[in-house]
Structure 1
Amino acid sequence: MSGAARGPAASIAAAAKPRRLSAHDLIGLIADPDSYVSWDAAPVEPDLGDAYREELVAAAAKSGVDESIITGEAVIDGRRVVLIACEFSFLAGSIGVASAERFVRAMERATAERLPVLASTASGGTRMQEGTVAFVAMVKIAAAVAAHQGEGLPYLTYLRHPSTGGALASFGSLGQVTVAEPGALVGFLGPRVYEALYGEKFPVGVQSAENLARHGIIDGVLPPEGLRDVIARTLRLLERPTHAELAARAADPGTASDDPAGSADTWASITRTRDRRRPGLRELLRHAATDVVPLSGTGQGERDPGLALCLARFGGVPAVVVGQDRRAQRAHAPLGPAALRAARRAMHLSEELRLPLVTVIDTPGAALSRTAEEGGLASEIAHCIADLATHRGPTLSILLGEGTGGGALAILPADRTLAAEHAWLSPLPPEGASAIVHRDTDHAAELAEQQGVASARLRANRIVDRVVAERPDAADEAVTFCRRMGDAVAQELAALQLTQPDRRRVLRHERYRRLGL
């Protein structure tokens, strides 16, 4: 979501009410010219009497479509994509029995033909005229999406104005990547219903696309004109390399051809990683990755500026990336439990899309606060470690700089671990460890050396598999260093994908089982 897209970190003023985009208008914006082919048969509507039949006829005449959902396939940037779109002008885009059935049939066909899906909501929710039967049909809609995702297929969602009720609470909220139209009303309970039930207006701005992006419920805000580019980029990113391409990449270290033993000057390394000029996660993505599609938060109402997640390619190899941003942690707040819940979202997404997972460690330490304790920080660290230890796909962790405490350990376990030459890993900041052992901070350097936190010792102790050179300091060669690290990442990911999954998981278990023996 770059260029025209706006992420939650942007300063976003309250947007004006957007113009209503019809389903066919949306398709015209994103599909290659003359490529859209409808999949729809005539809907079989429930017989609820003459009055309802007349409503349906009037809705069709007003909207130009025969139901509130239309489905079909199109070509977007040369790739076949299934499109499912609500039409708000047909009975406020409400989902009835016939439209639910149409959605499910399209999803089942997309799954059978192994095609990606873009679903776009613009709906007031369940069709009240049809009552409970239509309401319960949301279950089969969600089940069809889950079956599609269970096959490792992409399911993307675009929330148009308005997106509320059962449509949002079923297919609108299940996207692996979810963005919304600027200014769109997005919320479970429509403002009119809230006012009728409670006798007061719903708080202004809560149910806006921008507010939900700020809270990590959706991944960003994107004008319709920018949607085609994001879909094309996402689908391009998700294309899997062939076995031959992986083999060639695994054999080619690129600029990361040397294999240093690591830094033995512990305190010098710690000092260097605290340099504000040192490249971090964002620089690594900018200079070493392509087709980056940023994601945001947990998708469940939490986001932490100290952690970023995205889809990206390294040397042509796609991956889900989750990493710590030490600058944001220092500028805003230490890494909290919400960050680790977002990391677990990335872990789940990598399994769902059957992509390797890359974790990037660069943190001065997790939050020590009442909020963190009451938010379950220790539990989230434990669950992250357990999830990574049992992860079904290839995993690669990168010690990029500071590696302090439980926040670092939470995303460390992996099939392979790379370390920048001056990166380090420690149970506490050296000053904190000195305070525990010596009751002062004067022994920090001495204790860091004793603990074996520097990359040479980490490699000797088989915590790190490979060290990526700094010449002599990443802060002095930021772009070159990031590209060197990116080449190492691409080579490692390719090699991991060439390893049989069962063997890879056994090796991962043995790696940590034998640690320290």
Structure 2
Amino acid sequence: MSTPALKTPRMSATELINTVLDPGSFSSWDAPVQQPRISDTYAAELLAAREKSGADESVLTGEGLIRGRRVAVIVSEFRFLAGSIGQAAVNRITDAIERATAARLPLLAGPASGGTRMQEGTLAFLGMVSITDAVRRHKEAGLPYLVYLRNPTTGGVMASWGSLGHMSVAEPGALLGFLGPRVFETMTGTPFPPNVQTSENLYRKGLIDAVVPPAELPEIIEKALRILLPVTHSGVRARPDTLDVVPGPATAWQSILISRNPRRPDLRMLLAAGAAEALPLNGTGQGENDPGLSLALARFGSQSCIVLGHQRPRHADGPAMGPASLREARRGMQLAEELKLPLLTVIDTAGAALSKEAEEGGLAGEIARSLNSLIGLRAPSVAVLLGQGTGGGALALLPADRIIAAEHAWLSPLPPEGASAIIHRSTEFAPQIAADQGVEVASLRRIGLVDHVVDERPDAAAEPREFCVRMATAIEYELALACATPAEQRLDQRRAKFRLLGH
């Protein structure tokens, strides 16, 4: 979700509030400002800033409605001393976050700031710790923290509450970064490289989730909150017909060939045709964006979840899943924990990347860390074997409370051709190897791995939308079942499932 790099005309805090919130719904939370002891010179600067901006400080806080949903907001006023954060602003921001947490309100932050206020020195700088702690406690309460980065956001603000969003989007053409370009040039004597600290570049690098103009923000926030704050339903959904499905007579090798059909429905189609709503996220949030994995907020029927899954390349020579994909996966796991939503993983991979870059990027370690996180995840979890399931790349997303499999999905430590080459020094024994290894769904169900099979009639590629609807119904049911199980019982059952496979 990105737009051309055209800089958005700078809005005041009030203008942004009026653009994003429902008309007339804003109610201020701001008490009169209590400034620290200040010099006469600084007092004059504050007076001039108030007259210039029409605001009493560099942030406005309060609550309002976005498409009828109650939301707390914190918005910077850049015209007040470049949106800089002094002690009074720190107190105002922290108070607002704590009030939003106590009221159990989602929080939208709209920073536009040069950073901490130089006139107040170290005390203002240290205020970023208090703000960060308040954000952390808001997120620990399972409440959404959404960030809209505006032009410019730099310094201590970008390095604290500007970079902690569950979802972060930005204005087109916004200057976003740690060190402002003027400071960099003054300190180094050389200009900062162009087009680095822009919202569009940060999107390409996987640091933010979208680039959108202010007018489009209400739609995105509303969609995110419909998923992140679902209406709760008691009990498990109606029993789907797919619970009675028994895998058909296809051999393991036949299923493998069916799963490799490029027209087979993938994660994109599952979200498009099966999910009631889906909102893609982007990258690790740490400067990496690997196309091998997709991360999204989604809702299947009444069940909201965090989705992370293999994104099958559109072409055979497309990039395979690399270590950055699994770092993005861990972002999804963290979102599920923080937002107290179930996690859905979707497995469909011909194997992880085999390259110098993958080895040097720590692929093996990332697989291990993913397994470690998933087997101990506090959030409910469901895994879907959608198609191919090769090697460590597949295993890395597998541990879950409940596992659904498409009828012709499979799971193997190597492609059968590779296993045949190891054992027989030839690929011609691949069909027999696949049968001997028990890679197909019938065997995976027999050993206790697969709990639920979604039939293909006779091949998902022949009826992609119908298949995705059946899979979505199964996903909704299994998410509800996992969510209905107490956490400690769920963790014990998950560990026992993998400890007792084949017994």
Residues 268 and 276 (structure 1 numbering): CA distance in 2 closer, same or farther, change over 3 Å? Answer: same
Do 2:243 and 2:453's aligned partners in 1 also have CA atoms closer than 8 Å? Answer: no
Do 1:434 and 1:442's aligned partners in 2 also have CA atoms closer than 8 Å? Answer: yes
The alignment partner of 2:9 has SS state of: coil
Residues 430 and 193 (structure 1 numbering): CA distance in 2 closer, same or farther, change over 3 Å? Answer: same
Map of 2:327 onto structure 1:
341
The residue type paired with residue 121 of structure 2 is G
Residue-by-residue CA offset, 1:315-342 (whole Å, 9 max, x unaligned): 1110000010112584431110000010
TM-fit CA distance, 1:23: 0.9
The residue type paired with residue 309 of structure 2 is G
Residues 500 and 285 (structure 1 numbering): CA distance in 2 closer, same or farther, change over 3 Å? Answer: same
Map of 2:68 onto structure 1:
78
Do 1:284 and 1:482's aligned partners in 2 also have CA atoms closer than 8 Å? Answer: yes
The alignment partner of 1:475 has SS state of: helix
Map of 1:195 onto structure 2:
185
TM-fit CA distance, 1:54: 0.7
Residue-by-residue CA offset, 1:453-495 (whole Å, 9 max, x unaligned): 0111111111111110000000000000000000000011111
Give the Cα separation in 2 of the matches to 1:62 and 1:330: 59
TM-fit CA distance, 1:237: 1.2
Counterpart selection for 1:148 from 126, 138, 142:
138
Give the Cα separation in 2 of the matches to 1:263 and 1:85: 61
Give the Cα separation in 2 of the matches to 1:386 and 1:471: 36
Map of 1:3 onto structure 2:
none
Gapped regions of structure 1 (runs ≥ 5): 1-5
Correspondence 1:121-140 to 2 at 5 A: 121-140=111-130
Map of 1:499 onto structure 2:
485
Correspondence 1:293-372 to 2 at 5 A: 293-328=279-314, 330-372=316-358
Correspondence 1:391-470 to 2 at 5 A: 391-470=377-456
Correspondence 1:146-295 to 2 at 5 A: 146-244=136-234, 246-247=235-236, 249=237, 251-253=238-240, 256=242, 258-261=244-247, 264-295=250-281
Counterpart selection for 1:68 from 51, 58, 73:
58
TM-fit CA distance, 1:264: 4.2
Residues 449 and 62 (structure 1 numbering): CA distance in 2 closer, same or farther, change over 3 Å? Answer: same
Correspondence 1:77-96 to 2 at 5 A: 77-96=67-86
Map of 2:13 onto structure 1:
23
Give the Cα separation in 1 of the matches to 2:312 and 2:180: 39
Residue-by-residue CA offset, 1:44-70 (whole Å, 9 max, x unaligned): 112221110110011011111100011
Do 1:183 and 1:209's aligned partners in 2 also have CA atoms closer than 8 Å? Answer: yes
The residue type paired with residue 25 of structure 2 is S
Aligned length: 503
The residue type paired with residue 312 of structure 1 is A
The residue type paired with residue 493 of structure 1 is L
Give the Cα separation in 2 of the matches to 1:287 and 1:128: 53
Map of 1:113 onto structure 2:
103
Residue-by-residue CA offset, 1:13-32 (whole Å, 9 max, x unaligned): 5x233211111111111111
Residues 235 and 462 (structure 1 numbering): CA distance in 2 closer, same or farther, change over 3 Å? Answer: same
The residue type paired with residue 358 of structure 2 is A
Give the Cα separation in 2 of the matches to 1:367 and 1:432: 15
Do 2:243 and 2:452's aligned partners in 1 also have CA atoms closer than 8 Å? Answer: no
- Identical aligned residues as a percent: 56
Give the Cα separation in 2 of the matches to 1:316 and 1:221: 28
After TM superposition, the structure 1 stretch with the greater mean CA deviation from structure 2, 502-511 or 337-346, is 502-511
Do 1:261 and 1:459's aligned partners in 2 also have CA atoms closer than 8 Å? Answer: no
The alignment partner of 1:122 has SS state of: coil
After TM superposition, the structure 1 stretch with the greater mean CA deviation from structure 2, 458-467 or 326-335, is 326-335
Give the Cα separation in 1 of the matches to 2:128 and 2:314: 40
TM-fit CA distance, 1:516: 2.7
TM-fit CA distance, 1:210: 0.5
Residue-by-residue CA offset, 1:188-239 (whole Å, 9 max, x unaligned): 0000001101111111110000100111111111111110001111111123
TM-fit CA distance, 1:257: 5.7
Do 1:70 and 1:87's aligned partners in 2 also have CA atoms closer than 8 Å? Answer: yes
The residue type paired with residue 323 of structure 2 is P
The residue type paired with residue 459 of structure 1 is R
The alignment partner of 2:150 has SS state of: strand
Map of 1:43 onto structure 2:
33
Give the Cα separation in 2 of the matches to 1:241 and 1:401: 32
TM-fit CA distance, 1:292: 1.1
Give the Cα separation in 2 of the matches to 1:211 and 1:318: 30
The alignment status of 1:54 with 2:44, answered yes or no, reads yes
TM-fit CA distance, 1:447: 0.6
The alignment partner of 1:207 has SS state of: coil
TM-fit CA distance, 1:256: 3.6
Give the Cα separation in 2 of the matches to 1:262 and 1:296: 38
TM-fit CA distance, 1:243: 3.9
Residue-by-residue CA offset, 1:339-395 (whole Å, 9 max, x unaligned): 001001100100000000000000010011111111110111011111110000110
Residues 430 and 125 (structure 1 numbering): CA distance in 2 closer, same or farther, change over 3 Å? Answer: same
Do 1:306 and 1:328's aligned partners in 2 also have CA atoms closer than 8 Å? Answer: no
The residue type paired with residue 70 of structure 1 is L
The residue type paired with residue 22 of structure 1 is S
RMSD: 1.3
The residue type paired with residue 38 of structure 1 is S
Give the Cα separation in 2 of the matches to 1:213 and 1:28: 26
Do 1:60 and 1:67's aligned partners in 2 also have CA atoms closer than 8 Å? Answer: yes
Do 1:329 and 1:363's aligned partners in 2 also have CA atoms closer than 8 Å? Answer: no
Do 1:307 and 1:323's aligned partners in 2 also have CA atoms closer than 8 Å? Answer: yes
